Chain A
Amino acid sequence: MSGAPQGGAANAAGGLAYEEPLIFEQSRPGRRGAELPRCDVPEVDAAALLGENLREDLPALPELSEVEVVRHFTRLSTWNAAVDLGLYPLGSCTMKYNPKLNERVARLPGFAWAHPLSPAAEVQGLLELCFELEGFLAEISGMDCVTLQPAAGAQGELAGLMMIRAHFEQRGEPRSKVLVPDTAHGTNPASAALNGYQVQTVASGADGVLHPGALKAAMDETVAALMITNPNTLGLFEDHIAELCEIVHAQGGLVYGDGANLNALLGVARPGDMGLDVMHMNLHKTFSTPHGGGGPGAGPVAVKRVLAPYLPTPRVQRGPDGRFAWRDDAPHSIGRLHGGHGNVGMLLRAYAYILSLGAAGLRRCAEAAVLNANYLLARLRGAWHLPYDRPVMHECVLSDRALQASGVSTLDVAKRLIDHGYHPPTIYFPLTVPGALMIEPTESESLEGLDRFADTLLQIAEEARRDPALLHGAPHRTRHRRLDETRAARKPVLRWTPQEESA
């Protein structure tokens, strides 16, 4: 920081790397960034109309000019890593390129300014789009019916388990347990708990996949469902999947598929053909809708016919005249999950993506994603500890075991990657691998890009041996050095208060 202006006068940490206070700290009374239209109707006496209910204070919002607001958020944006800046190999999140066409499409007024309660007859284009997208997703997943309502993968899990619960209640045999492999995403057990299910963890084998023996030992007639991610979070295909499904079905149970890793299977294999009964798809992962700094996503759920009566309502249907309508006459439906029709703005991006790629393009996408992950694995073999050294699908998992002699941890490696210009992979997940680094390059990376990333990881392994302190102190080249998460949790400060400004 030497040579940088000090104190309140600091504008930039260096060159164009701007400092930027909180927006509240820049507020000046009387400024505003948006003018209102003139009032063309009589003014009203709000106090007379609303009495005690009228708010006396003004809401505590900042006051800035438009250019100040624009500069504030533009500067903030420059502090984010993003797919459009470079490789973002966050495992299980499928940070692939998000085509710009999809953004253009979502902004068409016939979509962006459409109202969810417009009569179906007046929004036929949107209903047709939803109907066709349901068909595409059913074909891709190998399922029979699809609901587009869930707003994210986790809400899709919730919906799927609600349907499973309704299925057993309808049969008069409510069940109490859900089985989850030890490699599962945390959302799986959390979604089961929201349905009142007990969660039982099933250990995967030494080769990283779930074995029929382990499942048989856990499976009985109190189990409503097995939740399984395939490929799993180690990037491994659950090669016993057909037998696992048979074991669950033999006891009357159902199999839920977490579709977070569907990108590896597009056009190559279909979860429905493997015996799964219900699954969600993360459109923000597999189908290229942008991740938006943490959403919005979309989590459509596909089911086999056995669960179709329980799908959320309303459902879009095509009549014999080719017109589309909403139907909610489903007495066994779990009900409604979303205030509107789901995250339609994301659905139509995914629809445009599927049209752009077609069947052949989707398959090429899976091929390139799997090739990229295996290529990366091959480049890292030897220098990095590979807890499961076998061919992978779309992602691979490393661990920090080989670095432990030098005292370097996965967290240090992640932060050092930042110095080299990369967003780190998912770390410390799956929980079955101590010090895991879960890398998903996606199909969007070129050979040269993969080589650069592999070279960097090899270099970091070397740095760890030569100069562990360099990694402990990383990142060194960022606007912020390592941030203290313990401090944030110990005394939570979750909003700005004017007192702090003066403190």
Chain B
Amino acid sequence: MLRRAGCSSLDELFQCIPPPLRRAGALNLPEAGSEQEVLARLEALAARNENAAAMDCFLGAGCYAHFLPSAVDALVSRAEFTTSYTPYQAEISQGTLQAVFEWQTMLCGLTGLEVANASLYDGASATAEAALMALRITRRRKVVASAGLHPHTLQVLRTYLRALGAELRVLPAAADGRTAAPADLCDDTACLVVQQPGFLGVVEEIAPLAQAAHAAGALCIATHSEALALALLRAPGALGADIACGEAQSFGVPMSFGGPHLGFLAARREFLRQMPGRLVGQTEDSTGKRGFVLTLATREQHIRRERATSNVCTNQGLCLLMATIYLSLLGRRGLAELARLNLAKAEFAKSLVRRTPGLSLPLSAPTFNEFAVGVPDAAAALARARDAGCIGGLDLAPFAPQLGPALLICTTELCSRAAIERLVAALAGVQ
């Protein structure tokens, strides 16, 4: 092979690299390991992480422990899905393309909006991309965001906006935890961003926020960190949101320490040309048979370069497939019932908290599957929960100091009644 390639040695293959730039010695890396050795190393590392497979998990806050039906992993493990790439060559990528088209359809149904894209990195960057989209549409320079956004989403939004020199204003929350509609949106506001449910679990009133945004000529963006709520709460599109975005990890995607997850974005049809990311559309082949292709690529970086709507190229294709399979398995009734089951678990947990001395519910607004709990000492409560086999929720001190010592507790269908009772007793210090 070397001879045919015109070289006499492997080193000669690299003759186009000037000699001073070639590395003489080996890289300082561990020696190669056999499959058995590498697996053992990784198993040892995995064993040193608390996880929701071994403990009862009450930690949500943007990443949720939901049951994963076996069929999801079995199907996405098929190498035809796993080891293919972006479906540039439509005739031999119809599996991926049809699944994306199905995802776009499901997402439109869930959000009550007309067009949806083929995923973004995660909920935080999807929210940032939605805000950038609003800046382009309105040609304005300012983003107003509710303090109820997940703090990491808010941070990522700030990072993206700072790079463009756009302004970010954060709206404080009312005492009950919800975002009050601002009366003073200035005429340079591109969008008002609200999270549903908010980071502290409260169900926001989207309609008045959308009205306030529209009155100022701005768009309303509804972002989500717990997408399962879409099956229980009125669709953002029906409440006046122009763009719905967020994180759909709850639809069958493993927590995996925060990624890879599934950013989504849906919008009203009039904003189609300003959408970021890949879109799949229906077409026909030369014999008239229905098929699917990547479309409207003139928005994208590989065609439009510096004038593209986004720099996104690789997205979260396989996570999108997990969600599409998950939603197909659950179906319209299953998903709605699952959302109600989550609601019932949370209401049961709240009822226990209400009657447990030392614990309190500091926010009065309605919630979905997550809520804040006042405790005498957050660190001590979490330590007791851990002793009781529970990942006991999030210490809110860095995120919501106004609540005093408090935890954010999440109950999904994985939390049994007995586990909830055990958690509440542990938080209160009841033996």
Contact = CB atoms under 8 A, between A and B. Distances in A.
B163 A195 contact: yes
B183 interface: no
Interface string B203-240: 10100000000000000000001000011111100000
Given A108-B43, A345-B256, A494-B279, A123 B315 contact: no
A88 B92 CA distance: 11
A171 B298 CA distance: 37
A106 to B, nearest CB: 7
A105 to B, nearest CB: 5
Interface stretch (A154-162, A213-221, A247-255): A154-162
B78 to A, nearest CB: 4
B364 to A, nearest CB: 12
Interface stretch (A27-35, A402-410, A457-465): A27-35
A300 interface: no
B332 A58 contact: yes
Contacts of B29: 136, 139-140, 354, 358-359, 362
Contacts of A162: 159, 162-163
Interface in B71-126: 71, 73-75, 77-96, 98-99, 101-102, 104-106, 108-110, 114-116, 118-119, 121-125
A356 B33 contact: yes
Contacts of B38: 101, 105, 352, 355-356
A344 B257 contact: yes
A130 to B, nearest CB: 9
Interface string A34-49: 1011011111101001
A338 B71 contact: no
A126 B257 contact: yes
B333 interface: yes
A7 interface: no
A386 to B, nearest CB: 13
Interface in B309-326: 310-319, 321, 325
B430 interface: no
Given A74-B78, A482-B91, A61 B259 contact: no
B63 A90 contact: no
B159 A337 contact: yes
Given A115-B52, A268-B17, A346 B286 contact: no
B6 interface: yes
B170 interface: no
B316 A296 contact: yes
B295 to A, nearest CB: 4
Contacts of A110: 43, 45-49, 51
A338 B122 contact: yes
B158 interface: yes
A288 to B, nearest CB: 10
Contacts of A46: 232, 340, 343
A104 B38 CA distance: 11
A268 to B, nearest CB: 6
Contacts of A125: 44-49
A496 B105 contact: yes
A28 to B, nearest CB: 10
A193 interface: yes
A54 interface: yes
B329 interface: yes
A335 B319 CA distance: 26
B20 interface: yes
A52 B208 CA distance: 13
Max chain A C-beta neighbours (<10 A), residue from B18, B311, B334: B311
A259 interface: no
B62 interface: yes
A290 B301 contact: no
Contact of A115 (B59, B109, B315): B59
Contact of A481 (B85, B225, B289, B292): B289
A74 B77 CA distance: 11
A62 interface: yes
A59 B332 contact: yes
A292 B253 CA distance: 14
A50 B229 CA distance: 12
Given A115-B63, A292-B81, A36 B334 contact: yes
Interface residues of A, number: 192
Interface string A342-385: 11111010011011111111110001001100110111000000
Contact of A69 (B4, B158, B272, B328): B328
Contact of A291 (B83, B90, B280): B83
Contact of A157 (B75, B83, B311): B311
B343 A187 contact: no
A237 B16 contact: yes
Given A371-B1, A487-B284, A415 B101 contact: no
Contact of A79 (B71, B92, B297): B92
A107 to B, nearest CB: 8
Contacts of A370: 13-14
Nearest to B279: A494
B24 to A, nearest CB: 10
A371 B96 contact: no
A63 B332 contact: yes
B28 interface: yes
A482 B334 CA distance: 38
Nearest to A155: B121
Contact of B41 (A123, A294, A355, A360): A355
Contacts of B281: 488-489, 492-494
B377 interface: no
B327 interface: yes
Contacts of A108: 42-43, 46
Contacts of A355: 30, 32-33, 37-38, 41
B104 A44 contact: no
A101 B35 contact: yes
A167 interface: no
A263 interface: no
A466 interface: no
A237 B295 contact: no
B83 A190 contact: no
B85 A362 contact: no
B424 interface: no
15 contacts: A24-B105, A30-B333, A44-B344, A73-B325, A80-B95, A126-B49, A157-B311, A187-B311, A295-B316, A336-B124, A340-B258, A340-B261, A483-B293, A484-B293, A492-B295
Given A335-B158, A346-B260, A359-B27, 10 more contacts: A34-B334, A36-B334, A49-B343, A66-B69, A185-B302, A196-B165, A274-B21, A344-B256, A357-B32, A479-B91
Q: Which 3 A-B pairs have the closest CB atoms?
A: A340-B258, A116-B258, A110-B46
